[in-house]
Amino acid sequence: MDYILGSLTRGIGNVEQAMFKLVILCLNIFNLDSRLGMLKGNSVLS
């Protein structure tokens, strides 16, 4: 029984880690987009 619970919690942990990485990846892409947008905006202004 403990073994089943252990593997379940480990599986949930792996899913949480994957979600966390996905969220960080999305945030990085969003930050990159806004930085590129700022760069484009600055180049248009100058």
List the domain boundaries for the chain.
20-46
DSSP designation for 46: -
**What's the sign of the alpha-carbon dihedral 32, 36, 41, 46?**
positive
DSSP designation for 1: -
Predicted pLDDT of residue 45: 56
Predicted pLDDT of residue 24: 94
Amino acid (1-letter code) at residue 37: G
Predicted pLDDT of residue 44: 59
Q: What tens digit of pLDDT does each residue of 1-46 get?
A: 788 888 888 888 899 999 999 999 999 988 888 888 877 776 655 4
Amino acid (1-letter code) at residue 32: L
CA dihedral 35, 39, 40, 42 (to 10 degrees): 130
Predicted pLDDT of residue 10: 87
Q: What is the pTM of this model?
A: 0.56
